[in-house]
Structure formats: C-alpha cells, structure tokens
A and B are shown apart, each in its own frame.
Chain A
Amino acid sequence: MAHLVTTRTRASTVAAVIALGLVALGLILPAFASRSLIQDLFFILTMLTLAQLWNLIAGFGGMVSVGQQAFVGIGAYAMFAGVILWGWDPVPAILLGGLAALLLAIPMAFFAFRLQGAYFAIGTWVIAEVTRLLVAQWKTLGGGTGTSLPREATSDIIGVAAIADLFGLRDAAARDVMAYWLALLLAVGTMAAIHALLRSRTGLALAAVRDNDNAAQSVGVDARRVKWLVFLAAALMTGLVGALIYVQTARISPDAAFSVTNWTAYVIFIAVIGGIGRLEGPVLGVLVFWALQTAFADYGAIYLLALGLLAIVTMLFAPRGLWGLIADRTGLALFPVQRRLILKGPSDG
C-alpha cells in the first residue's frame, strides 16, 4: 500500500494563501495607512517576532529562558556602537546587533546548559543581569544613564529619502515606514524559518529532546547539538529585533534595553495567553496583548497586575492558551507541524 507522510492539511493550504495575501497587503500598506497605524504595526510585529523566538526555544525546545532581554539589549547596544563609534549607517548596523547577540549566546549557553530544568531559567536571568551591569560600565555609550543616536546618523539612513519621495512623506514618517518594513521582513522570515525548521528532521529531533532527553539520545539524536543550534539561532534573531527596535527608538539606556518586563515578561505573556508550542499561539497572543496594551496601559501598575493574574489563570485553566482552546474544539491548525500518515489504498492510488 502506498503511503505519504505530510504536515499539509486543507486548512493549512488556505492559511498559506491568506498569509501570503496578508504579507503582500503589509508590504503596500504604507502607501495608504496612517503613521500611527504603521507605528502600532511595528510594535506588534517586533513583539510577535520576539514571542515566536521565545516560543521556539521554550515551547518547542523546552528551554525556558528568562534572559532573552540580554540579546535584545546587547543587539541594541552593538547597533549603537556601530553608529556612534564607527560611523556606520543604522540599518546595516542592525546586523552588528545580531552578531553581538550570537557571540553573547555562546558563553550564555555554555553556562546555562550546565543547569537543569527550572534552574536554567534563573541561570539565563543572572547572565542577562551580568551583561546589563557590564554594559552600564561602557562610558562612551553613556554608562548607566544611556545615550541617543546622533541626529546626523538618523537624518540620512539608507533608503529613507527614497521612501520619503515614493510616498510623499516627511523624513520622520519615512523612517517609521523603513523600520516597519524591516520588522515585517524579520517577522515573516522568522516565522517561515521556524515553520521550516519544525518540519525538518532537526525539528523532530528538537521535539524529541524536549519530550524526553534520554529517550531522544537513545535513538541517535544529538541532544546537545540540537539545543545549541536552536538557542544560538534564536539569540541571533532576537539581537536583530533588539537592534531594530532601538533604531526606531533612537534612545537607549541599560535599564530599558535589558528590561526583563519589556523583553521577557511581555513576550512570555504573549506566548502563554496565545498558546505555547504552536506557531499560531503568539500571533493570537500578540493581538490580545496589543488590544490590552492600547486599552489599559494608562492604568500602569493595575494593568500589569491584571496581566500577571491573566497569565496565571491561563496556565491554570487553559494551559495551551487561547489557540489551544480553539484547536481543541475545531481541530484547526493553520501552520501545522504535526506529521500525518496518509495511506493510499489500491483503489484510489
């Protein structure tokens, strides 16, 4: 009997078409969208990318990191160093951010992988703190109080003039469009790469290591290699996102760039509320988070209190998040990574 192993479903084909349509719409959006919508979408896309990357290492890889702010921070600072110390253009300097995060991830993984399970989480947090304290000693980049991108660097970023001409925008608005496109590129690229990874042999190995380290090794999976690979790749991408966020912000300080609330707590809440261990989860989660943020962020501490309680309630009553609830009821999977065996009998095949 002929058989076929596939992850494709009818829903996933429809979803792929819709996703392509959305990406195309996203690309041409600056032609008619308002500046504030572009800024909101920039926020949504960057948080989505960070949440997908955390979801990759924690949800699919079982490595619960509370130290992702280290990569955002070091990425942002490396970009600043490129611009201020070596006179780079901010956009190519984003690549420096990715590189710096990758370099930081090597010692971080070396230390943190010595800690098991829950202790891994605080281990990553300690290393992020050490990085923050060291960066705060870097006096040429403002030390503990931080610094801003010089005006001459932000005034002629590559491509911004062309965007300004194309859409007839002022420079500041054109910079937002540029940042938005880069965020769209990173978000789509990250999700496509994670989807491809999870459907590959390495993705299967990653899930096996998460579910049972020893059993995975017994069938020939090189658990260390898989974990290193995924951790470093996520760090690199997180560094790029961090650098991009601070190209847009143009002002940096160690406390903001290495903030555990902004870059790890929010990101974890997005993944938890949307659904851990699924690509659809963070997408839904970031929309819920953005809606809450827009409606209630003015309430400050009360808002964060409620967000923390919401995460607890979600873990207690819907541990697989909102998307988990939807998927359990409908069996829907927009970006399926589960392999299904399809047998073709002689009659139809």
Chain B
Amino acid sequence: MIWLDTIVQGILLGGLYALFAAGLSLVFGIMRLVNLAHGDLIIFAAFAILLIVGSTGLNPFLAALLAAPVMFAVGWALQAFVLNRVLGRDILPPLLVTFGLSVALQNGLLEAFSADSQRIRAGALESASIDLGPVTVGVMPLLTFASAVGAIFLLNRLFYTTALGRAFRATSDDAVTASLMGINPRSVFAIATGLAMVIVTLAALYLGMRSNFDPSIGPARLIYAFEAVIIGGLGSLWGTLLGGAIIGVAQTIGAQINPEWQILAGHIAFLVVLLIRPRGLFPRAVD
C-alpha cells in the first residue's frame, strides 16, 4: 500500500509542477520565448500574495484573486516594454534579458523580504485530509491538482473556441501573416504573457500554502516547469500535466527510497524521457 500511496502523492504533486509549467508552455507556444525568470516570477507572486494576506488579513484565495490582475499588468508591461523589443530570429537577446531579470528579481526580493523562509497560512485547510479507501490524501494537494486540471482545461477552451485563442494560434503559426489579417502580434504577445502571469499567481498561491519559500528557490521551480513541458511535448498542455505528474511520481518514489534522492530522481526521469523520446510524449508544435 505504501507504493500506491507514494504514486498517488506523486501524481498530486505533479499538479503543482503542471501549474508551474502551464505559463511557461503558453508563452513558449505563442512566441518561442523561454522566460528564464519564470521561476522567480512565481516567487514574486507568492510574496505579493503574502503581502496582501499580511496587510489585509484576507483569505489567501481572495488575496490571490487581488494579486492576479496586478500580475497580469506586470506580465503585460514586461512583454510590451522589454521583451517585445528583443524578440527576433536571434534567441540570445531574450534569453539574456530574462536571465538578467531572474538575477535582479531574486536579489530584489532578498533585499525586500530577507532570506527568511515564509509561508502563506491557510488555516485548517493545511492539514485537512480525505480518506479514499486504500489511500488518504491531503485536501491541499487534491485542490492543487484539481486547479491544474481546471486551468489547463480553461486554457485549452480559450485556445480553441475564442477569438483571442484564434489570434494566439495564428500568431504562433505565422506572426507576419497574422499581422496582415489585422492582428497586432506585439499586443497578442503582451496579453499572452499577462495571462501566463495569472497562471503564475495560481501556482504561487499553492506553492506558498503547501511549503516554505524564500527568494532563492525560483530557479529550481523553473527547472521543474521546464522538465514538465519537455516531457509532455512542446505545445501540448495536457502533455504538460502528464509531464508534471511524471516528475512528481519520480520524486516521491526517489524520496521513498532515500530522502536525498528526491530531486535527483525527478531530473533523471526527465533525462530518460529525453533519451527515448527527444521530442516529448505528445509533441505538437514544430520548432
């Protein structure tokens, strides 16, 4: 039963990784941009929620609801004023700008909030659990996983059934032709990054309620997110969820064998997938 429990916990943990990854996947799918500051933006959002909870005493979920439009604006501005200027055929400038942003964000947060571990308090929800027969699962992990499924479902609906989604897909396929049809790729990019930051806020909410965080842990979240995207295959959001679950299961199994191997096991699962399926399990986008 311990193994079944390990696997279930791993899949639920994968929900958190899928939330980390969904925003990254969205931005990459539309503008072929890898945001190296993605992990640090998650931590930034977590501190924003913490600040709102601390100053207003609101429930964390309501605080996240307040933080989401702020994060949308941050993402929109980042894309419109900075990243749009460096997007082009050469991948070096956007990579280096986001790398600079990653270092700047990490140290800005360190200066503002110190290196102390923080946590978003969620009251009774933190320890609540549900008995599902053979396994007992925490309400919080379950809620995380359900949110990941919900976010990915909504993103897919947005992509395939709305005018904005059509603009996303058109710009992704061919930005020049899309602009001939009256779409402004730069504004589409800005909206996409804003949207990615809304998902980042959701990821930050669960990250902050489930575990301690401090300004230095952003890069590791970026790496988990990246691994989930690559395992799932570029451009497939459901693939990203599966990728997150694979990393999560590998980590919980690794931790079950030896606590020091938790992180390592996740990375090794990623390398194995890369070895046998270099383009991921469900590749869609061609790049």
B107 touches A304 (CB 8 A): yes
Chain A positions within 8 Å of B32 at CB level: 117-118
Chain B positions within 8 Å of A134 at CB level: 264
A143 vs chain B, min Cβ distance (A): 9
A309 contacts which of B91, B100, B227 (Cβ < 8 Å)? Answer: B100
Across the interface, name the chain A residue whose C-beta is closest to B258: A137
A121 contacts which of B95, B100, B227, B278 (Cβ < 8 Å)? Answer: B95
Chain A positions within 8 Å of B33 at CB level: 118
Q: Is B108 positioned at the interface, with any CB of A under 8 Å from its CB?
A: yes
A122 touches B222 (CB 8 A): yes
Across the interface, name the chain A residue whose C-beta is closest to B265: A133
B223 contacts which of A111, A126, A303 (Cβ < 8 Å)? Answer: A126
Interface size class of B (residues with CB under 8 A): 35 or more
B287 touches A122 (CB 8 A): no
A268 touches B99 (CB 8 A): yes
B95 touches A64 (CB 8 A): yes
A276 contacts which of B92, B111, B274 (Cβ < 8 Å)? Answer: B92
A118 touches B91 (CB 8 A): yes
Chain B positions within 8 Å of A303 at CB level: 107
A302 touches B230 (CB 8 A): no
Q: Is B271 positioned at the interface, with any CB of A under 8 Å from its CB?
A: yes
Question: Which of B107, B110, B264, B270 neighbours the largest number of chain A CB atoms within 10 Å of its CB?
Answer: B107
Chain B positions within 8 Å of A309 at CB level: 100, 104
Q: Is A125 positioned at the interface, with any CB of B under 8 Å from its CB?
A: yes
Interface size class of A (residues with CB under 8 A): 35 or more
- A9 to B93 alpha-carbon distance, docked (Å): 30
Binds B, one of A222-230, A231-239, A310-318: A310-318
Chain A positions within 8 Å of B260 at CB level: 136-137
A98-126 CB contact bits vs B (8 Å, 1 = yes)?
00000000000001001111110111011
B92 touches A133 (CB 8 A): no
Q: Is A307 positioned at the interface, with any CB of B under 8 Å from its CB?
A: yes
Chain A positions within 8 Å of B107 at CB level: 300-305, 308
Chain A positions within 8 Å of B106 at CB level: 304
A118 touches B104 (CB 8 A): no
Across the interface, name the chain B residue whose C-beta is closest to A117: B91
Given contacts A119-B230, A130-B267, A315-B97, whether A308 and B34 have CB atoms under 8 Å apart is no
A312 touches B227 (CB 8 A): no
A316 touches B85 (CB 8 A): yes
Chain B positions within 8 Å of A213 at CB level: none
- A122 to B91 alpha-carbon distance, docked (Å): 13
Chain B positions within 8 Å of A62 at CB level: 92
A302 touches B111 (CB 8 A): yes
- A305 to B106 alpha-carbon distance, docked (Å): 8
B110 contacts which of A119, A301, A307, A316 (Cβ < 8 Å)? Answer: A301
Q: Is B103 positioned at the interface, with any CB of A under 8 Å from its CB?
A: yes
- A127 to B104 alpha-carbon distance, docked (Å): 24
Chain A positions within 8 Å of B143 at CB level: none
Across the interface, name the chain A residue whose C-beta is closest to B94: A118
A312 touches B104 (CB 8 A): yes
- A301 to B109 alpha-carbon distance, docked (Å): 9
Across the interface, name the chain B residue whose C-beta is closest to A143: B260
A311 touches B99 (CB 8 A): yes
B287 contacts which of A66, A117, A129, A269 (Cβ < 8 Å)? Answer: A117
Q: Is B101 positioned at the interface, with any CB of A under 8 Å from its CB?
A: yes
Across the interface, name the chain A residue whose C-beta is closest to B222: A122
Q: Is A58 positioned at the interface, with any CB of B under 8 Å from its CB?
A: yes
- A99 to B49 alpha-carbon distance, docked (Å): 48
B254 vs chain A, min Cβ distance (A): 11
Across the interface, name the chain A residue whose C-beta is closest to B105: A308
B225 vs chain A, min Cβ distance (A): 9
Given contacts A118-B32, A137-B260, A308-B102, whether A316 and B92 have CB atoms under 8 Å apart is no
- A61 to B283 alpha-carbon distance, docked (Å): 27
Chain A positions within 8 Å of B275 at CB level: 111
Listed by A's residue number, 26 A-B pairs whose Cβ atoms lie within 8 Å are: A64-B96, A115-B230, A115-B278, A116-B287, A117-B32, A119-B226, A119-B230, A121-B36, A122-B222, A127-B271, A129-B223, A129-B263, A129-B267, A130-B264, A133-B264, A265-B99, A269-B100, A301-B111, A303-B107, A304-B104, A305-B108, A309-B104, A311-B99, A312-B104, A315-B96, A319-B86
Which 10 pairs, one residue from A and one from B, show the smallest C-beta to C-beta distance?
A308-B104, A311-B100, A118-B34, A308-B103, A304-B107, A301-B107, A305-B107, A114-B278, A312-B100, A301-B111
Binding site for A on B (CB under 8 A): 28, 32-34, 36, 82, 85-86, 91-97, 99-108, 110-111, 219-220, 222-223, 226-227, 230, 260, 263-264, 267-268, 270-271, 274-275, 278, 287
